[in-house]
Amino acid sequence: MEAHELLSRVVAGDERAWNELVGRFAGLVWSVARSFRLSSAATDDVVQTVWLRLAEHCGRIREPDRLASWLATTTRNESLRVIRGNVRLTPQDAFDETSDLTASSIEDRVTDDDTLRAVLKAFAQLSADDQALLRLLCAVPPLDYETIAETLGRPIGSIGPTRARCLERLRRLLPSGYDPKEGLR
């Protein structure tokens, strides 16, 4: 089902359609929020604000086919609000082990797959700007360059070339012999 059909069911009060919508776009909202490197508590609150906002706005979205873009823009705006606004966040359990979301800790939290570990280790060594761009490029479903540019506050023409340079930097940080198709040899 297309996003706009799902959305019109949501507007009509179909809670299953809402749950499907959340399932489909939760990863995208999460990727955008994480690209702003907020604390765990702030990330959770930003994401929840976006979903609450959508629940209230679902009948007013002007271009339902561009829901991914609407979600990304709303997530960006709420993230910037948190960064600038000194907001009051929902307290989290201090011992929540997922609280440490710094990039350098990521590769420790997975995985016995050597290829993924190598890629994550390389990712963690990239600059904050590179990581933000890559997170947006890895959003599922994918974001168009226009939305990525808007989220990063950069010109749209810069995204393609920056993507290429950024991936080149990532590649250089990978162990020699790495092949994205074959994995580590």
Partner 1 sequence: MTRPDDDLIAVLTTALRTADPVPARVLHAARGAYTWRTIDAELAELVFDSASELTGVRSEDQARQVTFQAPGIEIEVMVVDGSTRRIVGQLVPAQESTIELTGADRAVATTSDDLGRFTFDEVLPGPVRISVVGDGNTPTVHTDWVLL
Tell me which residues touch partner 1 (CB under 8 A): 10, 13, 15, 18-19, 22-23, 26-27, 29-31, 34, 44-49, 51-58, 60, 77-78, 80-82, 84-91, 98, 101, 106-107, 109-111, 113, 115-116, 119-120, 123, 134-135, 137-138, 140, 160, 163-164, 167, 170-171, 180-181
Are the beta carbons of 45 and 82 closer than 8 angstroms?
yes
CA dist 41 and 65 (Å) reads 31
Of 127, 164, 160, nearest to 144 by C-alpha is 160
Instruction: Return the number of the residue (89 or 152) whose C-beta is nearest partner 1.
Output: 89
Helices 114-125 and 159-172, axial angle in degrees (round to 10): 120
Residue 64 backbone phi and psi in degrees, to 5: -60, -25
CB of 84 to partner 1, least distance (A): 4
CA dist 173 and 22 (Å) reads 35
Neighbours of 85 (CB within 10 A): 9
Token pair for residue 82? 């948190």
CB of 87 to partner 1, least distance (A): 4
CB of 2 to partner 1, least distance (A): 19
CB of 68 to partner 1, least distance (A): 15
Instruction: Return the number of the residue (13 or 155) whose C-beta is nearest partner 1.
Output: 13
Token pair for residue 21? 């919508």
- CA distances for 161 relative to 64, 70, 77, angstroms: 30, 25, 25
CB of 85 to partner 1, least distance (A): 3
